[in-house]
A = this chain, B = another copy of it.
Amino acid sequence: MTQVRLDVLPDAAYVRVARLVAVSMARLSGVDEEVVEDVRLAVGEACGRAVAAHLQHGLVEPVSLSFEGGRGLAASVVDRVGLPAARGHDAVAVLLAASADRPGADVDLVAGDAPAVLALLEGLAQQVEVRTGADGTMVDLRWGTAG
């Protein structure tokens, strides 16, 4: 069950707020301090990606983050940009394809390039699940034995 939910308008500034909440929830859930840094970066990447997607598509609705602690932490980041429905590796492929026509890393962006972002999510979270669909994309990140 979601314990803390954070909705932020799509603006780069609020990615920092999301990172802080993630760190706070990780600490409350007793996540090791070394792993807390992974949580900080991974949730920031997922949130930045979602915010960038909203900005790119001119969506003014908020991006949503849900946190569930316990023994470990689960963080879920949701955007509302419609994409073909897919799960797992297929969903990652959908995200990569969707970002291919994005302006390059040199212009002002809210997230790094999609391959780097997805590599960081895979590399930093103990478990990652990506789901795309007409309603948007959900990125589920897990550490420890939460949920």
Contacts and interface: CB of A to CB of B under 8 A. Distances in A.
Given A21-B20, A21-B21, A24-B20, A11 B3 contact: yes
- In this complex, the interface size class of chain A, counting residues with CB under 8 Å from chain B, is 20 to 34
A64 B88 CA distance: 33
A5 to B, nearest CB: 4
Interface in A1-29: 1-9, 11, 13-14, 16-17, 20-21, 24-25, 28
Nearest to A8: B4
Contact of A17 (B2, B4, B9, B16): B4
Interface of A: 1-9, 11, 13-14, 16-17, 20-21, 24-25, 28, 62
